[in-house]
Homo-oligomer: A and B are copies of this chain.
């Protein structure tokens, strides 16, 4: 045991959880914020920006790319990463809907 029982939940729930998982690390939050800030695309600058090893950054980038939050294109000898605007907006809407579920009706407890 120890493995998440994915089969018990809807695709939508698993998707939301997967996106949240991609955001569930401060390094990945920091990477996204940096990419948003410097609209121009960055590559290995992230290694200096954050204090993590190159292999570690590469792994975080891989996870962000896996959920489609960022995209990378080869640019000479380096690789240019930037936000993927489409999935970004898509996820913004997903979270927007999730949180806007009219919870205003005060506590019941």
Contacts and interface: CB of A to CB of B under 8 A. Distances in A.
A57 to B, nearest CB: 12
A39 B105 contact: yes
Majority SS of interface residues in chain A?
mixed
A19 B14 CA distance: 17
A59 interface: no
Contacts of A100: 92
A76 interface: no
A41 to B, nearest CB: 5
Contact of A51 (B5, B18, B39): B5
10 contacts: A9-B50, A17-B29, A20-B21, A23-B24, A33-B98, A75-B109, A82-B109, A84-B107, A88-B99, A91-B99
